[in-house]
Amino acid sequence: MRKNDRSEKALRTVSIEPGFSLHAEGSCLITVGNTKVICTASVDEKVPPFLRNTGKGWVTAEYGMLPRSTGSRMDREAARGGQSGRTHEIQRLIGRSLRAVIDLTALGERQIKVDCDVIQADGGTRTAAITGGFVALYFACKHLVDQKLIKTLPIKDHVAAISAGVVKGQSVLDLDYDEDSTAETDANFVMTGKGGIVEIQSTAEGEPFQLEQFQSMFDLAKSGINDLIKLQMKVMYPELS
């Protein structure tokens, strides 16, 4: 059995606390089980060089972990003099995922930087960062509309992410750190509110896996992402509930 009698299809307890930051244009604290990520979205009126004078905007993401967010302390990346390959890989994934649902032309020639900082880690930090990062990004866009800097929200759809894996031969949703460490296969899925797929990453940790296993992970993830998007909606449109 999984910890806390969780079924193989069940997400851990998830909460999203919007407006977590005093300063950021958009922000939230997302909690998925023991994983906690602060997501802030900062508006920058400058775009990267390749977009200057195009009228188009950009969304980018950065990711970090506090040194003792993990079971044993990790060296601080700033002290080591640079970001690891894993960090680069994750922030590229978050950025791509968020841009998939943003209308960069409607955003106008400005950049939104989404910072996802893990203050406590227990598996699934990158997927939590995408799910929470989208909420922070939404509120930053809303701020731009409220400030009358843009007319309409440049958001085409929701986006959220979750992990699935094969643990002891069984496909399960939303792995915690212990499950992740022993999984035979590990996958991350990023999907939109309309059910489109934005990103699939699936890796055999031990033996290669088969298409059927992939499909059962996909089905679990699709259902989990549906639930995450419902939670995003509650937080983003409180007037609807």
Q: Which is nearer to a copy of itself, 88 or 230 (CB)?
A: 88
Residue 54 Cβ vs a copy of itself, minimum distance, rounded to whole Å: 17
Q: Which of residues 131-170 bind a copy of itself (CB under 8 A)?
A: 157
Report d(CA 64, CA 119) in Å as an integer: 9
126 assigned to a ligand binding site:
yes
Strand bridging mode 35-44 / 14-18: unpaired
Report d(CA 161, CA 222) in Å as an integer: 9
**56 contacts a copy of itself (rule: CB under 8 A):** no
For 4, list phi and psi in degrees, rounded to 5: 60, 30
Q: Which is nearer to a copy of itself, 13 or 151 (CB)?
A: 13
Of the candidates 64, 132, 165, 224, which one interacts with a copy of itself according to CB under 8 A?
64
- Binding part of the chain for a copy of itself, among 9-17, 18-26, 127-135, 161-169 by CB under 8 A, reads 18-26
Question: Which residue, chain included where needed, has tokens 């094969």?
Answer: 166
Report d(CA 112, CA 135) in Å as an integer: 13
Of the candidates 17, 62, 178, 227, which one interacts with a copy of itself according to CB under 8 A?
62
86 assigned to a ligand binding site:
yes
For 83, list phi and psi in degrees, rounded to 5: -90, 145
Residue 37 Cβ vs a copy of itself, minimum distance, rounded to whole Å: 11
Q: Which is nearer to a copy of itself, 68 or 230 (CB)?
A: 68
Number of other CB atoms surrounding residue 170 within 10 Å: 12
DSSP class of 68: T
Residue 209 Cβ vs a copy of itself, minimum distance, rounded to whole Å: 5
**88 contacts a copy of itself (rule: CB under 8 A):** yes
The secondary element (H helix, E strand) that includes residue 97 is: helix 85-99
The single-letter code of the amino acid at 209 is: F
Report d(CA 140, CA 18) in Å as an integer: 11
Binding-site residues for phosphate sit at 86, 124-126
- The binding site for a copy of itself (CB under 8 A) comprises 21-24, 27, 34, 38, 40, 42, 44, 62, 64, 66-73, 76-89, 91-92, 96, 100, 113, 115, 117, 119-120, 122, 157, 187, 191-192, 194-204, 207-211, 214, 218
